Amino acid sequence: MGGLAQRGKYADAAATAEKLVALDSTDGDGVYWAAGGYALCSAAVAAKPPAEVSADEKQLSERYAARAVELLKQTEAAGYFKNANNRIALQYEHNLDALRSRDDFKNLLSEVTPAPATEKVAPAKPQAEVAPAG
């Protein structure tokens, strides 16, 4: 999908992503990769300098990004992110980079990735002074 998107064949890449969605079993893996495909489409459409991106291209990029997040929410509902490796992938997968600045993606990320545990450390007990041997 990424290669199609990078060559400007967004519709073909999106159609391939939808085929993955249709073929997905209940584990969410195919839907997750389809979301990545849509995110790549969004990035490829908007890859030009901002002044050169037309209004239609901005709208198309937004549509692809919104679909990507929608699919990621489906994977969450399927329990895909109960697996720690899948949560890590969501945090670091480069195919999803185009989504990272979006509020809906940030919200999803905060929902599926637990906050780091803060360890409570008991204060150190004062040690008894030992008189020098003499």
pLDDT tens digit sequence for 7-31: 777 788 888 888 988 887 677 889 9
Indicate the pLDDT class of residue 5, thresholds 50, 70 and 90.
Answer: confident
What is the pLDDT, as a whole number, of residue 120? Answer: 52
Q: How far is CA 47 from CA 42, 44, 117, in A?
A: 9, 5, 38
Domains of the chain: which residue ranges? 2-112
Q: Which residues have C-beta within 8 Å of that of residue 42, sequence separation ≥ 6?
A: 61, 62, 64, 65, 68, 98, 99
Tell me the per-residue pLDDT of 60-111, one tens digit each, with 9 for 90 and over.
999 999 999 999 999 999 999 999 999 999 999 999 999 999 999 999 999 9
Q: Which residues have C-beta within 8 Å of that of residue 87, sequence separation ≥ 6?
A: 81, 112, 113
Token digits of residue 41: 């489409």
> What's the farthest any 2 CA atoms get from each other in the chain?
88
What is the pLDDT, as a whole number, of residue 58? Answer: 93
Q: Which residues have C-beta within 8 Å of that of residue 69, sequence separation ≥ 6?
A: 35, 99, 102, 104, 105, 108
Compute the C-alpha angle 68/15/80, nearest 5°.
Answer: 40
